[in-house]
Amino acid sequence: MYSAKVMDHFEHPRNVGEIENASGVGTVGNAKCGDIMRIYLDIDENQIIRDVKFKTFGCGAAVATSSMATELVKGKSIQEAMQVTNKAVMEALDGLPPVKVHCSLLAEEAIHAALWDYAGKHDIQIEGLEKPKSDIHEGEEEEEEEY
Amino acid sequence: MEKLIYLDNAATTKTAPEVVEAMLPYFTENYGNPSSVYGFAAKNKSAVDEQREVIAEALGADAREIYFTAGGSEADNWALKAAAEAYESKGRHMITTKIEHHAILHTAEYLESRGFEVTYLDVDENGVVRPDDLRAAIRPDTILISVMYANNEIGTLEPVMEIGKIAHENGILFHTDAVQAFGQVPIDVDACHIDLLSASGHKLNGPKGIGFLYIRKGVKIRSFVHGGAQERKRRAGTENVPGIIGLGTAVKRAVRTMEERTKKERELRDYLIDRVLAEIPYCRLNGHRTERLPNNANFSFSFIEGESLLIRLDMKGICGSSGSACTSGSLDPSHVLLAIGLPHETAHGSLRLTLGEDTTREDLDYVIDSLKEIVAGLREMSPLYEDYIKKNK
């Protein structure tokens, strides 16, 4: 079901953990739907992401997308981090099964939520950053008509 | 071969070698169509009828009341749709439960879309239907009550005898989905006033693609598949002879081994349940502690998600299943776990382990050790666990 890259990131997730006194923390998702991601960012005075950690409650794809997202933003500027879209995360993982695409959206949203927290704390504007949605599942789950 | 500990026997079982052996001649040697006239083929008709006898005997039924189907789902569909059609002049109301298999629930929903009314009974925290709820739900136009013999996810055995008695007293047909229970617990269709019963071959070490519907004599259920005169004109199509031979052989075997097999499974199940509950924190057993299938254990581990758990178990060669949304193909976790009152996040962290006749205590020791390690590891990366620990420091 999953690509070798997804399995690798699930089995050996990168950057799991917490950052004390993080520059920004974002938590997205919904326990009701079975996935929650939390991303911690440590951002230096030049707006470079020095360190990043995550914690995720969710399926294999949720863990793998969080792990990959942290890899993609680590060492990058916050503007570069803004370019890490769900598509980029998916491509880096050699794709996801269609029912798991929402996990990659969650990863993108978690990065944005952490940046939003950072921006708020430091009273700065990040170009292109909007207030993160609290629940990416809204409007999802359109089942096919069965009969 | 790598280590494989198969604890998903509620999903399917290994076909027993003696079953396969019994089936094989019916592919290449005795391949004749039982409806044909010449002796070579016609003897397959008696071979098929012998299996009918075996199954009928296991249920305390008559061989003419056993109708072969392509499996449990077909039997469930047939029972509900055909009963609806045959009895709609009496009424258009049915009663079932919230914890049925989808073969029942989706068929019931389909019938609702065709103008029938269906009451879905709640269950208690152990997954048991309350007979008083059933009594209260009965209406003058109720034509069918369908309650499963045992639940496929949490293993709870339903009070089938009492339900059958209530149905009988009220002159209402009683169907039970016994796909999980048949071969695991003794079933007597007369004692339980069962009018219709569904079962499947591959849950009791028989082949896939074969099952049956028991239809009590006198119940006016008509053809589900139209065509030839097979199955007393009620289910057309050339008999799946190898499948039927396999099913009959498996049933004979299951009846023969039931007492010893289920005694051993019950002991191992209790060993597994006791150790997991004692050794893994923030964990609960789902389903009734004692009134459950001999081979079923179902746990919820707080703060973690079921699919992650299954993949990690798979990496250690352990096969189980979960009621999490990710494994159900929707965003909602198992309807059974929600019906027994679990919050969504607890339902997402469920694990069903169903033992088989080959399961050993050593297997379970390995599974328990692996589980402890995996659950702790997943909690380490869970934001829900982090929040819980911080809140309770």
CATH number at residue B296: 3.90.1150.10
Contacts A16 to B, Cβ<8 Å: 380-381
CA distances to B81, B94, B200, B217, B222 from B111, rounded to whole Å, are: 7, 10, 23, 24, 17
Q: Tell me, yes or no, whether A145 lies in a domain.
A: no
Task: Give me the mean pLDDT over the A106-112 stretch.
Answer: 95
Query: What pTM did the predictor assign?
Result: 0.94
C-alpha B226, offset from chain centre = 27
pLDDT greater at residue A103 or residue B190: B190
Q: Which residue has the tokens 């599974």?
A: B367
Contacts B345 to A, Cβ<8 Å: 31-32, 34, 57
Q: Give the full edge-to-edge strand order of the sheet including A35-43.
A: A24-30, A35-43, A49-57
> Which tokens belong to A78?
């916050």
Where in the sequence is the domain holding A52, given as residue range(s)?
4-122
Q: Considering CB atoms only, which of A34, A140, A141 is closest to B305?
A: A34
Residues B197, B279, single domain; the answer is no
Distance CA B339, CA A124 (A): 48
Which one is catalytic: B192, B283, B319, B326? B326
Q: What is the pLDDT of residue A136?
A: 56
Domain stop point among B230, B254, B278: B254
Average pLDDT, chain B: 96
Where in the sequence is the domain holding B384, given as residue range(s)?
5-11+258-391
Using the beta-carbon criterion (under 8 Å), do B308 and A31 form an inter-chain contact?
Answer: no
pLDDT band at B318; cut points 50, 70, 90: very high
User: How many percent of chain B have pLDDT more than 90?
Assistant: 94
Residues of B with CB under 8 A from a CB of A: 106, 110, 113, 303-305, 307-308, 311, 315, 324-326, 329-331, 333, 344-345, 348, 380-386
Q: Which residue has the tokens 């068929």?
A: B107
Q: Tell me, yes or no, whether A144 lies in a domain.
A: no
Q: Considering CB atoms only, which of A32, A60, A99 is closest to B308?
A: A60
Decide if A140 touches B, using CB distance below 8 A.
yes
CA distances to A22, A93, B322 from A47, rounded to whole Å, are: 13, 27, 43
Residues B162, B217, single domain; the answer is yes
Task: Give me the mean pLDDT over the B91-100 stretch.
Answer: 98
Work out how many domains chain A is built from and give that number: 1
pLDDT at residue B169 above 60? yes
Using the beta-carbon criterion (under 8 Å), do A55 and B382 form an inter-chain contact?
Answer: yes
Domain stop point among B254, B272, B293: B254
Strand ranges (E), A33-145: 35-43, 49-57
> Which tokens belong to B293?
């299938």
> Which tokens belong to B11?
């999903």
pLDDT at residue A144 above 90? no
Q: What is the pLDDT of residue B79?
A: 98
Q: Considering CB atoms only, which of B333, B380, B381 is closest to A34?
A: B333
Q: Tell me, yes or no, whether A104 lies in a domain.
A: yes
CA distances to A144, B87, B100, B192 from B95, rounded to whole Å, are: 26, 14, 11, 17
3-state SS assignment for residue A96:
coil
Complex ipTM value? 0.89
Mutate which: B381, B387, B389, vs A, most A CBs within 10 A = B381
Residues B212, B354, single domain; the answer is no
Contacts A140 to B, Cβ<8 Å: 331
Domain of residue A70, CATH code: 3.90.1010.10
Work out how many domains chain B is built from and give that number: 2
> Out of A128-142, B151-165, B338-352, which region has the weakest mean confidence (pLDDT)?
A128-142
Residues B357, B212, single domain; the answer is no
pLDDT at residue B125 above 70? yes
- Is residue B326 part of the annotated active site? The answer reads yes
Neighbours of A49 (CB within 10 A): 24
Residues B294, B230, single domain; the answer is no
Q: Considering CB atoms only, which of A36, A59, A141 is closest to B308?
A: A59
Task: Give me the mean pLDDT over the A53-79 stretch.
Answer: 96
Distance CA B74, CA B68 (A): 10
Distance CA B71, CA B77 (A): 10
Distance CA B155, CA B336 (A): 11
Average pLDDT, chain A: 90
Closest CA to B164 of B155, B175, B180: B175
Beta bridge partners of B66: B214
Residues B335, B218, single domain; the answer is no
CB B185 within 8 A of CB B157: yes
Q: Tell me, yes or no, whether A146 lies in a domain.
A: no
Task: Give me the mean pLDDT over the A46-62 stretch.
Answer: 96
Q: What is the pLDDT of residue A31?
A: 80
pLDDT at residue B340 above 90? yes
Q: Tell me, yes or no, whether A64 lies in a domain.
A: yes
According to the 3-state scheme, what is the secondary structure of chain B?
CCCCEECECCCCCCCCHHHHHHHCHHHHCCCCCCCCCCHHHHHHHHHHHHHHHHHHHHHCCCHHHEEEECCHHHHHHHHHHHHHHHHCCCCCEEEEECCCCHHHHHHHHHHHHCCCEEEEECECCCCCECHHHHHHHCCCCEEEEECCCECCCCCEECCHHHHHHHHHHCCCEEEEECCCCECCECCCCCCCCCCEEEEECHHHCCCCCCEEEEECCCCCCCCCECCCCCHHHCECCCCCHHHHHHHHHHHHHHHHHHHHHHHHHHHHHHHHHHHHHHHCCCEEECCCCCCECCCEEEEEECCCCHHHHHHHHHHCCEECECCCHHHHCCCCCCHHHHHCCCCHHHHHCEEEEECCCCCCHHHHHHHHHHHHHHHHHHHHCCHHHHHHHHHCC
Contacts B330 to A, Cβ<8 Å: 141, 143
Contacts A57 to B, Cβ<8 Å: 303-305, 345, 382-385
Q: Tell me, yes or no, whether A109 lies in a domain.
A: yes
Using the beta-carbon criterion (under 8 Å), do B383 and A55 form an inter-chain contact?
Answer: yes
pLDDT at residue A137 above 60? no
3-state SS assignment for residue A62:
helix
Q: What is the CA radius of gyration of chain B?
A: 22
Domain of residue B231, CATH code: 3.40.640.10
Residues B240, B317, single domain; the answer is no
Task: Give me the mean pLDDT over the B332-344 stretch.
Answer: 94
Using the beta-carbon criterion (under 8 Å), do A31 and B324 form an inter-chain contact?
Answer: no
Task: Give me the mean pLDDT over the B285-294 stretch.
Answer: 98
pLDDT band at A120; cut points 50, 70, 90: very high
Residues B111, B80, single domain; the answer is yes
> B227 to chain A, minimum CA–CA distance in Å?
24
Closest CA to B153 of B321, B364, B331, B381: B321
Q: What is the pLDDT of residue B332?
A: 78
Distance CA B285, CA B33 (A): 49
> A137 to chain B, minimum CA–CA distance in Å?
9
Which amino acid appears at position A107 of this protein? A
Q: In chain A, positions 102-131, which contact chain B (CB-CB < 8 Å)? A: none
Distance CA B308, CA B330 (A): 16
- Is residue A59 part of the annotated active site? The answer reads no
Using the beta-carbon criterion (under 8 Å), do B315 and A11 form an inter-chain contact?
Answer: yes
Residues B90, B195, single domain; the answer is yes
Residues B136, B155, single domain; the answer is yes
Residues B235, B265, single domain; the answer is no
Q: Considering CB atoms only, which of A31, A99, A141 is closest to B345?
A: A31
pLDDT at residue B2 above 90? no
Residues B183, B245, single domain; the answer is yes
Q: Tell me, yes or no, whether A68 lies in a domain.
A: yes
Q: Tell me, yes or no, whether A69 lies in a domain.
A: yes
Domain stop point among B203, B229, B254: B254
Contacts A56 to B, Cβ<8 Å: 381-383
